[in-house]
Structure 1
Amino acid sequence: MKVQFNFRSAVIEIICMLYVLLFVYAATSKLLDFQHFKIELGQSPLLSAFAEWIAVLVPAAEYITCLLLIIPRFRLTGLFLAYGLMVMFTVYIFIILNYTSFVPCSCGGVLEKLDWKSHMIFNLVFVCLAVLGILLHVRRNKMNGHQIKRVKIIRAFSAVTVCGICIVSILFIISENIIHYHNKLTRRFPQTPIQQEAVADLKLNSFYIAGVDDSHVYLGNTTAPLLVTTLNTRLFKTDEKMIDLARKDLPFRAVKISVQSPYFFVTDGTIPVVFRGRIQEWKAKLVFIGGEYFTTALALDSLTVAVVTNNSKTGDNVLGTITVGKNGKTILNPLILQKQVDGVFDTDGHLLYSKAMDKVVFLYYYRNQFTIADKSLKITDKGTTIDTITKAQLNIVRDKKHHQRKFSSPPLFVNKNCSLYRNLLFVNSAIPGRYEDDRIWKEASIIDVYNLNDKSYLMSFCIYNLEGKKMKSFTVLDDKIYVLVGTKIIRYKIGMKITSKYITKDK
């Protein structure tokens, strides 16, 4: 009996020391690079919303467990706590592998080389060791006259197991709800949601994307306002045309080309005029002249153009639609653009249209808000991005001599660029998140993806700088992103993590 007793004691000591080594190493490595550990938790698809306090709680629990395992009097409590922690870590990995939208990178430290499945097996081994240690400890106490009823042990195992599973599962459910619907600038970056497929040098940095369709990319040029350059999907130049306008005698100052295949539009809000033609000919007829001046124009279909114009009485920005042709009319809705500071600069933004949803979307430059309306400009919904800036932070002064309003300091951009395809809104944010490395913002542009069906945040990804230059603009079509960076145009393929969220059919 004496030999058996010594053997049990030795096994218990070995199990306890293995746990002490594991937890001391794990907790210390977390604290030595605490900021990186918080960033990893912030990028977790499971615990993003609770990264701040979990980053402190986990190392503390690991140190406390080690202390209990070292002190003989509290060793059984320490083994149960170690068992509970390993159960929670194992459930965490199980949920990541089976129920989350993406699988993050593996943990650092001694387990850095293990993938998630190997890590789960490692955890299960330590779960079994904890069970063995508890059973041997109870058996040894029984032989020393300190009997613990089997029912109590079973109840303890059941309670710890159920609590461990429930804690992680509840945190997952709550975190998912917070991240997708009540997010306060915590981004998630799944692995490789986009991949570069092609790049071409345009030789000039004055191009802008006028439109895309299934087989072509159409580029306008700010230095040659009526020149259209056509690329195929492999980004090879296939055509270059000068648009032939029906009226060339007008005082053009702000010509913009917009392609909605098979039509293209030429607009200039300083006159104001709208020309329309077919891309097969690149000849444009005058379909609208006069009426409200506008600063932004977006073709919704062959007959309707959405514009941002000014209220004739107050001077505030107003969203409107122009129906072109013989029976043309203009509809204005002053309720869509909400004034906060001056009604002009504070209501600047991006005008977008989804053919699949048949909705107009206006996303503000300087605040985290967007408005959704139908083509008759009836507001159907409103939403916010994950950025926390709800009011435009602008410093505006009046230049009395020139009768102008100007920025007295550079404005704080919130939403720099964006694109809308089907029900997904892609936003190039200008505001860093809570758990993000500063180097990312120096080396890349961050794109946040939102589902307009339920106004939820989905995920984020990076478009990295090219030759030290940041992305200038981008547009999305199905599983492709076309990006302008300096003099280059790049095509990326979008992965299933994003495209699986598209609604299926155009209306």
Structure 2
Amino acid sequence: MKNVILKIPNITSYFFILLFCYAAISKIMDFENFQVQIAQSPLLSTYAGLISYSTIIIELIIVIALSFLRTRLLGLYASLFLMAAFTIYIYLILNYSDFIPCSCGGILQNMNWTQHLTFNIICTILLIVAIILLERKRSTRTSRLISNISLLLILSSGTVVYLFLTSEHMIKKENNFTRRFIPTAVMKSKALPLSADSYYLAGIENEKIYLGDPKSPLILTTVDTTLIRASARKLTLDNTHYQFRNVQLQVQKPYYYLYDGTVPVIYRGRIKDSIAKTISYNEVYFNQFIPLDSTQFAFRTIATKNKQFILAGLKLEKSRRAVVNLYANILKKQKDGIFDSDGKLLYDRKKSNLIYIHSYRNQIIVMNNDFKVQHQLHTIDTTTIARVKIRKLTNGSYKMVAPPLKVNKSSTVYGGILFNQSNLIGKHESPQTWKRASIIDIYRTDKQEYLGSFYIYNRNDVSISNMMVNGSSLYLIIGNELIKYKLNKKITDSYSTGKAENL
């Protein structure tokens, strides 16, 4: 029995030589996947590059140290440091993470995270026993031995906790463009084939989805939220004596709105009524339109003076007089005031907030109904200056002379949460996946905080053209299909609580 106990340090060393050698080689053989797994860790994603390389190097150094008698004790201490770090990491995953990532590959790939924790604890105890036996053989004092092991365990645990805390801060506040993907963020629920690929989402009210089609602008298509029944009806305008160029449709209970900012004219009709009446004509030209309520509207227009994009508001008075207010200081010019300020105007009806998200830079502007800026936020990429190449023409207008770097594509907002289709690839993300999917990043709109991301895969090589969120459902137009996805409860809980933590 005594001989068996004395052999424990050697047996332990051989075991960890095999374990770390296999682990290092398997990581090297599939390094890209290993790095992606680290990047998706809810605790260490910011340090994916550093950790992916250093872990392999440390494991190989430990293998070499354990292979020689003179350095075996040092190798056991290094093994204890690494196994203790792994153990604390798994403990944090199980107890302090909002989601548990997929299990890593390799020799332990069939274990769940609780089994990983048990295995690591056993390995840690085995290493402590081996170190004690080897140190006693060298006549090391007990007090010094306890001090060495305790200090190493504290150092190992402290390192992991430090990486966790600083990674959390960077991901939430100072993101270096490392995305965090939310497991099972969305689940496809239903798809409805459409007769054309030109439809867009015009609104969602009372368990009904409303679709518009620029090819048939006076047709209002209604689909129930189960995507089972669909119907279409023709709308009638009280005045059609205009040169229409771009008639659009929006629905906001209890009205629908038809408008063309090139005329400019706005019609309004009750959802149950097919006749739309003119409520504004020749007040302000616009290229984006948001109904805030039945008498107040938000626009994006072009200033007559400097030919730059500005935001505007229109209010219909009881006397039928329209009051237009221009807000020239919200959209900031960087180069030309048109291309560099291009973006999408959104309205969060749950929070009564206007959102303007730029297309060519990472800036998000949050305003109230009176156009008072509440927050200046940004997406996780680092594009603060629009990368557009333009040339000023003799008539004072600008022309784009090279394809720009588009940062943000389609967006929608609901309950203080912004869903943004990004156009930029982040660190440790697969280019192959980017070719087959769109990526949706999620942000809070009440403060600077990135919540996570998820993929929406293309349908027949076609990506998202339009999206809208309503409660726990995400509705997408992809090609000639209307698709409904169910959102993860981690996301939907953030609407009501206002405390959307790291997902």
The normalised TM-score by structure 1 is: 0.94
The DSSP-based 3-state class of the residue aligned with 1:294 is coil
Q: Are 1:18 and 2:15 an aligned pair? A: yes
Instruction: Tell me the alpha carbon deviations over residues 391-417 of structure 1, each in whole angstroms, 9 at most, x when there is no partner.
Output: 1111223565x9863322222211010
Match of 2:501 in 1: none
How do 1:448-467 and structure 2 match up within 5 A? 448-467=441-460
- Quote the residue 1:192 is aligned against: 184
In the TM superposition, what are the counterparts of 1:114-153 in structure 2 within 5 Å? 114-139=111-136, 141=137, 146-153=138-145
Query: Structure 2: how far apart are the matches of 1:358 and 1:211?
Result: 16
Does the CA-based 8 Å contact 2:375-2:446 persist in structure 1? no
Instruction: Indicate if the aligned counterparts of 1:43 and 1:435 stay in contact, CA closer than 8 A.
Output: no
Distance 1:33 1:202, change over 3 A: same
> Which residue does 1:43 correspond to in 2?
40
Contact kept? 1:93, 1:116, Cα under 8 Å: yes
- Is the CA contact 1:213–1:477 (under 8 Å) kept in the aligned structure 2? no
Which secondary structure state, in structure 1, belongs to the residue aligned with residue 107 of structure 2?
helix
Distance 2:393 2:376 in 1: 34
Give the superposition deviation at 1:465.
0.8
1:383 aligns with 2:377: yes
Structure 2 counterpart of 1:483: 476
Residues 181-227 of structure 1 deviation map (CA, whole Å, 9 limit, x = unaligned): 11121111121110001001102111111011240110001101111
Match of 1:312 among 269, 294, 304: 304
Specify the alignment match of 1:92 in structure 2: 89
Q: How do 1:260-299 and structure 2 match up within 5 A?
A: 260-299=252-291
Corresponding residue for 1:56? 53
Q: CA deviation at 1:127?
A: 0.8
- Partner of residue 323, structure 2: 329
Whether the 8 Å CA contact 2:439–2:455 is kept in 1: the answer is: yes
Matched residues in 1 for 2:359 and 2:25: separation?
A: 43
Q: Indicate the SS of the match to 1:476.
A: strand
Give the letter for the 1:80 counterpart: Y
Offset of residue 43 of structure 1: 1.3
Amino acid at match of 1:250: Y
Aligned AA (1:470): S
Instruction: Tell me: CA distance 1:504–1:37, structure 2 relative to 1, closer, same or farther (3 Å).
Output: closer
Report SS of the residue matched to 2:232: strand
* Structure-to-structure mapping, 1:23-38, within 5 angstroms: 23-38=20-35
Alignment counterpart, residue 194 of structure 2, candidates 192, 202, 226:
202
Residue 71 of structure 1 and its aligned partner are, at CA, apart by 2.2
* Distance in 2 (alpha carbons) for counterparts of 1:504 and 1:122: 38
Q: Partner residue of 1:351?
A: 345
Q: Which amino acid aligns with 1:167?
A: T
> Counterparts of 2:457 and 2:230 in 1: how far apart (Å)?
27
Letter in 2 for 1:117: T
**Inter-partner Cα distance in structure 1 for 2:171 and 2:238:** 52
Tell me if structure 1 keeps the 8 A contact 2:307–2:397. no
Structure 1 residue 73: Cα displacement: 2.3
In the alignment, what sits opposite 1:234? Answer: 226
Note if contact 1:49-1:179 (Cα within 8 Å) is conserved in structure 2: yes
The answer to whether the Cα contact below 8 Å between 2:439 and 2:453 also exists between their aligned partners in 1 is yes
Q: Superposition pairs for residues 352-431 of structure 1, below 5 Å?
A: 352-398=346-392, 405-431=398-424
Alignment check: 8 A CA contact 2:201 2:467 kept? yes
Listed one character per residue, the Cα deviations across residues 320-369 of structure 1 (whole Å, up to 9, x for unaligned) are: 11113524211111111111111111111110111222211100011110
1:247 to 232, 239, 252: 239
Aligned counterparts of 2:435 and 2:112: Cα–Cα separation in 1: 29
Per-residue deviation at 1:48? Answer: 0.9
SS in 2 for 1:76: helix
Spell out the pairing of 1:435-446 with structure 2 (5 A cutoff): 435-446=428-439
Aligned residue type for 1:453: D
C-alpha root-mean-square deviation of aligned residues, in Å?
1.6
Using the alignment, how far apart are the partners of 2:316 and 2:216 within structure 1? 25
Q: Secondary structure at 1:434's aligned position in 2?
A: coil
Letter in 2 for 1:316: Q
Structure 2 Cα separation of the partners of residues 253 and 366 of structure 1: 26
Q: Look up the match of 1:175.
A: 167
Alignment TM-score, normalising by the size of structure 2? 0.95
Please give the alpha-carbon distance, in whole angstroms, between the structure 1 residues aligned to 2:493 and 2:96.
16
Matches of 1:482 and 1:380 in 2, distance apart?
28
Cα distance, 1:504 vs. partner? Answer: 4.6
Instruction: State the SS of the aligned residue for 1:210.
Output: strand
Q: What is the CA-CA distance between 1:7 and the residue it aligns to?
A: 2.6
Cα separation, 2, equivalents of 1:223 and 1:69: 73
Deviation at 1:135, TM superposition (A): 2.1
- Aligned AA (1:446): I
CA distance in 1, matches of 2:111, 2:182: 18
**Number of aligned residue pairs:** 496
What is the rounded CA distance, in whole Å, between the counterparts of 2:19 and 2:486 in structure 1?
A: 41
List runs of 5+ in structure 1 lacking aligned partners.
none
Same amino acid, percent of matched pairs: 35
What is the identity, as a one-letter code, of the residue corresponding to 1:296? Answer: Q
Q: Which residue of 1 aligns with 2:495?
A: 502
Cα shift at 1:425: 0.3
Change (3 A) 1:504 1:251: farther
* Separation in 2, partners of 1:368, 1:182: 13
